[in-house]
């Protein structure tokens, strides 16, 4: 799939206070996610869009992440079409984990990316 000039960011460029939107499914989120990220599965995204607009910083960027970058690219394109400043996190949670960044499960313990 070709995403053209989709804005993207590497995991190494993210700062601790950056807003993250995780669009993976519930089982993936429960196994391991980034603490503080907002979780709205891509399959529920349009129905739950209001949750994002309430939680996202008004003048900030929404960093969209999935397992490897494909689903998050689709959501990033959708958000850009809605006029939201959104960027795709390159390599997704796999790149996050590979960079040694912390992953927690739904109980706050050490998690993993599935």
Give catalytic status of residue 66 as yes or no: yes
Residue in 35, 44, 104, 40 with CA at minimum distance from that of residue 66: 40
- Catalytic option among 14, 42, 64, 66: 66
Q: Which residue has the tokens 């008004």?
A: 58
* Residues assigned a catalytic role: 66
């Amino acid at each position: 799939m070709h995403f053209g000039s989709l804005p993207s960011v590497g995991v190494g460029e993210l700062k601790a206070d950056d807003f993250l939107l995780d669009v993976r499914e519930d089982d993936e989120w429960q196994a391991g996610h980034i603490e503080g990220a907002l979780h709205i599965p891509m399959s529920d995204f349009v129905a739950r869009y209001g949750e994002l607009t309430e939680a996202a910083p008004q003048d900030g960027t929404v960093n969209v992440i999935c397992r490897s970058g494909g689903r998050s690219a689709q959501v990033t394109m959708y958000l850009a079409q809605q006029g939201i400043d959104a960027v795709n996190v390159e390599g997704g949670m796999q790149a996050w984990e590979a960079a040694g960044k912390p992953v927690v499960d739904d109980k706050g313990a050490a998690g993993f990316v599935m």
